[in-house]
């Protein structure tokens, strides 16, 4: 036991020396608690990037590999949301609009209804129902023409939902869409019916013309219940050829039906809701644009940007972050938006803030990427600048509060730093990252970035990061 302790002490010493001479620590060495945590979890100094600065100070007291490029995972969302707050403004909203292209006689529209998307990141079912209800309130019941969907604000192109991780059913793999409805997701709910020896399956949103074949009921262990279902999802129906165990109880599975086209999904939801509102659609659903003589017959306005970024940052919503990046591109370039133009907007914005970021690589602005890169210093300097900006309150309030909500609700729950740190998290294979603000017991506030890129990061990286958060609270 004594030999083991001595070996651990020697490893800690070597790690500290590596930090001091190979890890470019400036002003002061890493706190002992952080060194011990990294040593204990076999994460080398070279795998970590740290930047810590008092928001009213000029020099960071602790840095480690601060200028090296790291994959930031979801902490990249801080760049996208901060830029959006400053460039679009906290009260910015998205407007989904409906236009009629022909004469209305009584309650019959003798032509097309056109719905134009604005890239709304959160056009959920409740908002969409109110939107359709407004159109019905204009007296339109029967649409004799087609339903045309105007997605021209964003570039149209094929989206490979399996490209990121080979799992296209994951809802975070939904592609951006100027007319994104309900995150293009289906929620299957499985309820075992022991008396009937069957499994009842419901789908939300409820859609017509999309049959679902239920799995058989079994009495085995629940275990990996999703794979046991053997689900098949396509553009016209879904089926589960496997079994669902009685021991699972009620379960829900959110699915991205990637084999459904955007139009198929939109049509299925529209026809169901429109019918329930007493309406009929005679024609087809297809892409189109607003003709010159069309008149506005309905509008759905989103929540303001200050509220939207709370969902993006607190719950790390990748789909919404990608929508936001393309919104920035469309607003600045006045052209159909793509991710490349969005990345250019962010880089130009950084330059205007005098933050040199030659290492910055942006693929989609969400951090759900293998190629996105940023340094701890670039992200840290941005956080310091954000604190000094007019939109600081909206930005900070969008971040998870340690020990209380969002992706930080289970961290630091028994430590005094809980409730005193607004921290965005990020996690991918080989990546664990945190970035945000800590209000120290001294009353000083610090901007903090701690990114780890190492195979041990997902399982153990949080130990060193939480140690640094607590140290800043106590000693900052």
Where exactly does CATH 3.50.80.20 map onto the chain?
A: 95-159+261-302
pLDDT beyond 50 at 266: yes
Decide: 146 and 288 in contact? Cβ < 8 Å. yes
Backbone angles phi, psi at 3, to 5 degrees: -65, -40
Residue 157 banded pLDDT, cuts 50, 70, 90: confident
Q: What is residue 7's predicted lDDT score, i.e. its pLDDT?
A: 38
Region of poorest pLDDT, from 2-6, 178-182, 348-352: 2-6
- Please write the tens of the pLDDT for every residue from 354-376: 999 999 999 999 999 999 999 99
Give the residue ranges of DSSP H helices in 315-430: 318-333, 339-352, 376-387, 392-397
One-character DSSP codes across 43-92 = --GGGEEEEEEETT-SS-SEEESTTSEE--GGGGHHHHHHHHHHHH-TT-
Where exactly does CATH 3.40.710.10 map onto the chain?
A: 15-90+306-475
pLDDT beyond 70 at 8: no
When the candidates are 3.50.80.20, 1.20.1630.10, 1.10.3720.10, 3.40.50.720, the CATH number that belongs to 95-159+261-302 is 3.50.80.20
Residue 41 banded pLDDT, cuts 50, 70, 90: very high
Q: What is residue 209's predicted lDDT score, i.e. its pLDDT?
A: 86
Categorise residue 237: left if φ over 0, alpha if ψ from -120 to 50, beta otherwise.
Answer: beta
Alpha carbon distances (Å) from 238 to 230, 271, 366: 11, 19, 30
pLDDT beyond 80 at 29: no
Decide: 375 and 66 in contact? Cβ < 8 Å. yes
87's tokens: 């460039």
Q: What is residue 341's predicted lDDT score, i.e. its pLDDT?
A: 98
Residue 85 banded pLDDT, cuts 50, 70, 90: very high
Distance, CA of 232 to CA of 257 (rounded, Å): 9
**Mean pLDDT, residues 10-19 taken together:** 41
Distance, CA of 462 to CA of 32 (rounded, Å): 16
Distance, CA of 88 to CA of 410 (rounded, Å): 33
pLDDT, the chain, mean: 93
379's tokens: 């992200």
Residue 234 banded pLDDT, cuts 50, 70, 90: confident
- Please write the tens of the pLDDT for every residue from 389-438: 999 999 999 999 999 999 999 999 999 999 999 999 999 999 999 999 99
**Mean pLDDT, residues 154-160 taken together:** 93
Q: Please list the residues that pair with 439 across neighbouring strands.
A: 445
3-state secondary structure of 293: coil
3's tokens: 């030999």
Distance, CA of 427 to CA of 458 (rounded, Å): 7
Decide: 279 and 196 in contact? Cβ < 8 Å. no
Residue 235 banded pLDDT, cuts 50, 70, 90: confident
Q: What is residue 420's predicted lDDT score, i.e. its pLDDT?
A: 98
Pairing mode, if any, of strands 238-240 and 104-105?
unpaired
Residue 1 banded pLDDT, cuts 50, 70, 90: very low
Distance, CA of 61 to CA of 388 (rounded, Å): 19
Task: Report percent pLDDT > 70 for the chain.
Answer: 94
Region of poorest pLDDT, from 12-16, 239-243, 261-265, 413-417: 12-16
52's tokens: 């810590």
H/E stretch holding 10:
helix 2-21
Distance, CA of 202 to CA of 223 (rounded, Å): 21
| More confidently predicted of 60 and 334 | 334
Q: What is residue 28's predicted lDDT score, i.e. its pLDDT?
A: 53
Q: Please list the residues that pair with 438 across neighbouring strands.
A: 421, 446
Q: What is residue 249's predicted lDDT score, i.e. its pLDDT?
A: 97
Distance, CA of 238 to CA of 324 (rounded, Å): 31
What class, spelled out in words, does domain 15-90+306-475 have in CATH? Answer: alpha beta
The owner of tokens 């759905």 is 300
The owner of tokens 């990249």 is 76
Decide: 211 and 240 in contact? Cβ < 8 Å. no
- Please write the tens of the pLDDT for every residue from 270-314: 999 999 999 999 999 999 999 999 999 999 999 999 999 999 999
Number of alpha helices (DSSP H) and beta strands (DSSP E) in the chain: 12, 24
- Please write the tens of the pLDDT for every residue from 97-142: 999 999 999 999 999 999 999 999 999 999 999 999 999 999 999 9
Decide: 432 and 466 in contact? Cβ < 8 Å. no
Distance, CA of 240 to CA of 223 (rounded, Å): 17
| More confidently predicted of 8 and 215 | 215
**Mean pLDDT, residues 446-475 taken together:** 97
pLDDT beyond 50 at 241: yes
CA torsion sign for 453, 458, 460, 466 is positive
């Amino acid at each position: 036991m004594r030999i083991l302790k001595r070996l651990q002490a020697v490893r800690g010493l070597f790690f500290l020396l590596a930090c001091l001479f190979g890890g470019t620590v400036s002003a002061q060495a890493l706190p002992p608690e952080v060194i011990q945590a990294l040593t204990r979890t076999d994460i080398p100094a070279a795998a970590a990037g740290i930047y810590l600065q008092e928001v009213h100070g000029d020099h960071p007291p602790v840095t480690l590999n601060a200028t090296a490029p790291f994959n930031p995972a979801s902490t990249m969302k801080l760049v996208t949301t901060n830029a959006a707050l400053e460039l679009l403004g906290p009260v910015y909203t998205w407007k989904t609009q409906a236009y009629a292209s022909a004469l209305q006689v009584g309650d019959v529209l003798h032509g097309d209804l056109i719905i134009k998307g604005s890239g709304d990141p959160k056009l959920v079912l409740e908002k969409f129902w109110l939107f359709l209800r407004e159109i019905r309130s204009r007296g339109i019941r029967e649409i004799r023409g087609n339903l045309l969907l105007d997605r021209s604000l964003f570039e149209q192109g094929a989206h490979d939902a399996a490209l990121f991780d080979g799992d296209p059913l994951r809802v975070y793999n939904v592609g951006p869409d100027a007319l994104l409805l309900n995150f293009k997701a289906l929620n299957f709910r499985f309820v075992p019916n022991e008396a009937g020896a069957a499994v009842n399956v419901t789908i939300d949103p409820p859609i017509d013309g999309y049959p679902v074949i239920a799995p058989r009921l079994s009495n085995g262990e629940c275990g990996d219940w999703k794979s046991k279902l053997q689900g098949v999802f396509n553009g016209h129906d879904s089926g589960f050829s496997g079994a669902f165990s009685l021991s699972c109880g009620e379960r829900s599975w959110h699915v991205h039906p990637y084999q459904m086209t955007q139009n198929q999904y939109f049509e299925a939801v529209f026809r169901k809701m429109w019918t329930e509102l007493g309406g009929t659609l005679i024609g087809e659903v297809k892409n189109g644009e607003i003709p010159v003589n069309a008149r506005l017959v309905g509008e759905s306005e989103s929540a303001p940007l200050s509220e939207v970024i709370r969902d993006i940052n607190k719950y790390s919503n990748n789909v919404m972050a990608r929508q936001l990046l393309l919104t920035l591109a469309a607003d600045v370039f006045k052209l159909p938006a793509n991710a490349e133009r969005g990345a250019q907007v962010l880089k130009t914005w950084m330059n205007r803030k005098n933050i040199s970021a030659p290492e910055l690589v942006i693929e989609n602005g969400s951090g759900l990427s293998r190629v996105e890169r940023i340094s701890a210093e670039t992200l840290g300097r941005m956080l310091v600048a954000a604190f000094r900006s007019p939109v600081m309150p909206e930005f900070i309030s969008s971040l998870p509060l340690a020990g209380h909500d969002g992706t930080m609700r289970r961290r630091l729950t028994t430590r005094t730093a809980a409730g005193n740190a607004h921290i965005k998290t990020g996690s991918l294979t080989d990546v664990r990252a945190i970035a945000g603000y800590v209000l120290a017991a001294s009353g000083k506030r610090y901007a903090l970035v701690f990114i780890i890129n190492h195979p041990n990061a997902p399982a153990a990286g949080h130990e060193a990061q939480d140690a640094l958060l607590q140290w800043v609270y106590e000693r900052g």
